[in-house]
Amino acid sequence: MFEAIAFYLFAVLTIAMFTITVMTSQALYALTAMAAGMIFISAFFFILGADFLGAIQIIVYTGAVMALYAFGMMFFDTTRNVVEKQTNPRIVFVLGVLAAVMVVAIFVAPIVSDNIEALYPINSQVGNTQAVGMVLFTKYLVPFEVAAVMLLVAMIGGIVLAGKKMDRSLTLMAEEEIAMIHASNERHPEKGEH
Amino acid sequence: MEITLTHYLVLSTILFAIGLVGIMRRKNLLMLFFATEILLNATNIGFAAISHYLGDLSGQMFAFFIIAIAASEVAIGLGLLIVWYKRTGKIDLDLMTSMRG
Amino acid sequence: MELYLYIALFAPLVGSLYAALFGASPKSYHTGLIASGLLFTSLVSSAILLSYVMGGHTVHVELMTWMATGDLYIPFGFVVDQVSVVMMMVVTIVSTVVHVYSIGYMDHDKGFNRFFSYLSAFVFSMMVLVMSDNFAGLFIGWEGVGLCSWLLIGFWYHKESATWAANEAFIMNRIADLGMLIGIFLVYWNIGSLQYDVVFAEIHNLDQKVITWIGIFLFIGAMGKSAQFPLHPWLADAMEGPTPVSALIHAATMVTAGVYLVIRANPIYSEIPDVGYFIASLGAFVAMFAATMALVNRDMKRIIAYSTLSQLGYMFVAAGLGAYWVALFHLMAHAFFKALLFLGAGNVMHAMSDELDPVKMGGLYKVMKGTAILMILASVALAGIWPFAGFFSKDKILEVAFSSEHYILWGTLWITAGLTAFYSFRLIMLAFFGEERYKQYGFHPHEAYRFMLVVMSPLALLAVIAGWFEHDFVRLVTTLLPGFEFHTHHVELMLIGVTSLIAVGGIVTAILMYRNGPLSTKWEEHFCYKVLINQYYIPKLYNEIFTKPYGALSRFAWKEIDIRIVDATVDMIANAIYKTGENTRDIQNGNLSTMLRWMVIGLVVLLALAVAFTVGYNAIGA
């Protein structure tokens, strides 16, 4: 009973948050709503007994990813209203609903749930975190290492991409100088990278 | 009233659909990234739920990797976005038509 | 002896290929000389073979296997027997003369080398036709001469009338060849072989009805090649080709291939006298029919062409009545004097700058003595005056008709003999004697090269003396061909007298009527004249019955079926693809947002398929 109440409550909340994220024209609202949605999703993980995953969700998403987005937003100066030209909004929703309905139709079809077998059964003797650790560092060791390398690469890539021209501080420049930089970039786009 | 796997999957699907609407609707690149995050999270719920109801940890493993991928994507994506913004001063999708055929 | 056979057969081919090497280059005498030389080699080989065959032997060789599948075995086999050696002699003599003559005649023509290539190729095909020892080989030669005839009639392909005539000849022959093919198929179907010796040995075991059909279909082929009614119009139109071609192909050799076929297939036709009688009747009809058309025609070459048609009719009468050797004899004699006549006409044409209307000539005897004498000789031979070749052969045909008690046929041929003499001398009188009308039209005639006249003289000699060897000829060919029993010994002299009388009568009438030049033009208003000059309106009739509806049908197929259906379908496919591309170009507008939408649409489609398959699978599984 408790589980059901929790599920529906968080379900409604998550859907509401994400809907706001998608629909709002205020960038700040969107960011905030998404951060809230992420936290609510971690609640599902806790309900489902995946404690470690829930913790990771909060740390990675709400901590790291959201912080990155917040920085990005400040950089791009999107704190004002985001003006977006909407073309054919109806088709967007129709497609979304159609996709949802059909995925649901597939899920409720008996053939999916009948044909799945547990590959690594959960050992009830140990806690979730320990079990995850055991599986992750045995069966999924190679993917784990690959993922680690990927994260490293992503970090370096992010720094390199974002770090260009960091020697010039836009905030300290006068408006005319910035305009001049933009103008010269437009004339010699490739020159600006050096 | 028991909560079954189907409930979770339907929830996951609804969130995924919201994400789809987002990626179709958004013209601002940053907002588009938000929508992709929603898509990834929606699948995460699905994986975690299946993992739970099957008693198999593989689902959770996939959820981990998806989170890792999401983190990398944000890092690289934002880096690229910054480069683009520095060049053009705009992050509007409708203006990024250099791949016009 | 096999060596001589191969030389006789392949020397023309070598000549043709040699001339073809220089086909596109400007005129070079050596092609003509070498082609003629090789043909002379062929002639010599044929003569050697003739002497060998006269000794009572035959040569039969098998060059190689051509087709061997299952029960079907067709070799490239060649036979030199009494019949084929006569044909070989005729072909090689006439073609050698024509080749040498052509060196002079085609002197100013741009296609000199090409001409010799075609001409030699024709001789090779003709040799294959007469020497083959089976029906398949005969058919190859048959088609080969048809092809060369097409090439040569249309030799001056820039003239529309020439190409038209070439196509007409080819198409009419094709219609007849279908009949011939069916005949050959019937032979193979019923006997299982195409070798002459096998077929002729087996033929009398077949059902009478089957033999009749075989005979009819083979004769349809012969009708096309020998231009018998109703497939005759092409021969007169074929005169569009160069004159040596008319002499060689459309008088002496190719058109007699039909007669040769009937003679060669004599065991078949001996079994079916009714068909033979039909052939004879058709031959007599054509003889008369063509002779009447020649009476009024004002085109020198066409007159001679109609005369050829008429003489072919004579040959078919003899062959149809079972007197095969008589037909062959007339074939040989006719080849000599008709080729001579054509070559003479070629000289006149040259002299008159390609003018063919004898009414515009007159009095050419003074400037072209040699040609005139040769042509008069040929005409006398054609008219059948003793002791020229035509007398012996034509007289024999009349005797055959009389002896078979077909008096109507005899009467027809008898009248035709008079007509023949008349139109031959009408031509001679108009062209060579009387007032010199050519001066009014501003022509400056001149005699042809001397060597052209010299080379024509062997033909003239043969036209005179060929008939004297009748007894040797009979002895030679009757070893292979059935003899003919004449029952006319009591009236023989009377028949000869009557025939000679009408021939002389024809000649005298012509001389008297045309001694002062052409008749007054009021004749041209006469109904008979109009019918005859329009060739009994047959070409017009064919045009109305066959050509125009076919043209309309083709136009319909072009405008309605091809353009509206075939073309439209192809265009539609192309347009559909083009339009699709044009319309879907918007997808590739480079806008990421649009692309994402398309991606979602794709996803939805895939999901729909997944749902459909899941539902379908469950439905089957349940």
Which residues 89-148 of A have a C-beta within 8 angstroms of C? 91-92, 95-96, 98-99, 102-103, 105-106, 109-111
Give which of C461, C380, C459, C388 is closest to C424, Cα–Cα. Answer: C380
Rounded-to-integer distance, Cα B47 and Cα C451, Å: 108
Chain A residues touching C619 at Cβ < 8 A:
none
Rounded-to-integer distance, Cα C19 and Cα B42, Å: 87
Residue C96, exposed/middle/buried by CB under 10 A (0-12, 13-18, 19+)? buried
Helix, strand, coil percent values for chain B (each to nearest 5): 80, 5, 15
- Neighbour subunits, B (≥3 Cβ pairs < 8 A): A, C
Query: What mean pLDDT is predicted for residues C408-434?
Result: 89
Tokens linked to C199: 């077929």
Rounded-to-integer distance, Cα A24 and Cα A34, Å: 11
Q: What is the 3 state secondary structure string of C529-579? A: HHHHHCHHHHHHHHHHHHHHHHHHHHHHHHHHHHHHHHHHHHHHHHHHHHH
pTM comes to 0.67
pLDDT at res. C216: 92
Rounded-to-integer distance, Cα B75 and Cα C176, Å: 88
Position B26 pLDDT exceeds 90? no
Strand (E) or helix (H) holding C72: strand C72-80
pLDDT at res. A170: 61
Does residue A181 lie within any of the structural domains?
Answer: no
pLDDT at res. A142: 92
Peptide bond into C518 cis (omega under 30): no
Name the pairing type of β-strands C72-80 and C59-69. Answer: antiparallel
Are the C-beta atoms of B88 and B44 separated by less than 8 Å? Answer: no
pLDDT at res. A123: 62
Give the ranges where chain A is alpha helix by DSSP (H).
2-23, 27-47, 51-56, 66-76, 89-108, 110-114, 128-136, 141-163, 175-187
CB atoms within 10 A of CB A144: 16
- C550-563 pLDDT, tens digit per residue, is 999 999 988 888 88
Does residue A178 lie within any of the structural domains?
Answer: no
Could you tell me how far CA B23 lies from the centroid of its own chain? 9
Which DSSP state fits A57? Answer: I
Phi–psi pair at C169, nearest 5 degrees: -60, -45
pLDDT at res. A191: 45
> Which residue in this structure is represented by tokens 């951060």?
A35
Does residue A19 lie within any of the structural domains?
Answer: yes
* Best mutation target, B74, B84, B92, to test chain A (most A CBs within 10 A): B74
Does residue A77 lie within any of the structural domains?
Answer: yes
Phi–psi pair at C347, nearest 5 degrees: -60, -45
Rounded-to-integer distance, Cα C300 and Cα C232, Å: 18
Cα→Cα distances B58→A57, A106, A145, Å: 17, 21, 16
Q: What is the 3 state secondary structure string of C164-214? A: HHHHHHHHHHHHHHHHHHHHHHHHHHHHCCCEHHHHHHHHHHCCHHHHHHH
Q: Which residue has the higher pLDDT, A86 or C241?
A: C241
State whether residue C55 sits within 8 Å of chain B by CB: no
Query: What mean pLDDT is predicted for residues C145-155?
Result: 91
pLDDT at res. A41: 92
Rounded-to-integer distance, Cα A192 and Cα A194, Å: 6
Does residue A132 lie within any of the structural domains?
Answer: no
Contacts (Cβ under 8 Å, ≥6 apart) of C439: none
Among all residues of chain C, which has the CA nearest to that of B101?
Answer: C588
Where does the pLDDT of residue C616 fall: very low under 50, low under 70, confident under 90, or very high at 90 and above? confident
Calculate how close chain B gets to A134, using CA atoms only, in Å: 10
> Which residue in this structure is represented by tokens 């029906």?
C135
Q: Which residue has the higher pLDDT, B87 or C605?
A: C605
Q: Find the length of chain A.
A: 194
Does residue A171 lie within any of the structural domains?
Answer: no
Q: Please give the single-letter amino acid code of residue C109.
A: D
CATH of the domain at A56: 1.20.120.1200
Cα→Cα distances B94→A69, B99, C595, Å: 21, 12, 11
Where does the pLDDT of residue C439 fall: very low under 50, low under 70, confident under 90, or very high at 90 and above? confident
Does residue A123 lie within any of the structural domains?
Answer: no
Chain A residues touching B97 at Cβ < 8 A:
none
Position C110 pLDDT exceeds 50? yes
Q: Give the pLDDT of chain A (194 residues) as one tens digit per residue.
A: 788 899 999 999 999 999 999 888 888 888 899 999 999 999 999 998 888 899 999 998 888 888 888 888 887 766 566 666 777 778 888 888 888 888 777 776 655 555 555 566 666 667 778 888 888 888 889 999 999 999 999 989 888 887 766 666 666 667 777 777 767 766 655 444 44
Give the ranges where C208-299 is alpha helix by DSSP (H).
208-225, 233-237, 243-247, 257-264, 266-271, 273-296
Cα→Cα distances C184→A142, C203, C272, C587, Å: 82, 13, 17, 66
Strand (E) or helix (H) holding C66: strand C59-69
Torsional class of C544: left (φ above 0), alpha (ψ -120 to 50), beta (otherwise): alpha
Chain C residues touching A91 at Cβ < 8 A:
597
From B2, B68, B85, residue closest to A76, measured CB to CB: B85
Give which of C265, C301, C93 is closest to C183, Cα–Cα. Answer: C265
Domain count, chain A: 1
Torsional class of C537: left (φ above 0), alpha (ψ -120 to 50), beta (otherwise): left
pLDDT at res. C357: 82
- C31-86 pLDDT, tens digit per residue, is 889 999 999 999 999 999 999 988 888 888 888 888 888 777 888 889 888 889 99
- What is the percent of chain C where pLDDT is above 90? 25
Chain A residues touching B51 at Cβ < 8 A:
48, 50
Using DSSP, state whether C324 is helix, strand or coil: helix
From A23, A132, A157, residue closest to B57, measured CB to CB: A132
Does residue A194 lie within any of the structural domains?
Answer: no
Domain extent, residue A27, equals: 1-83
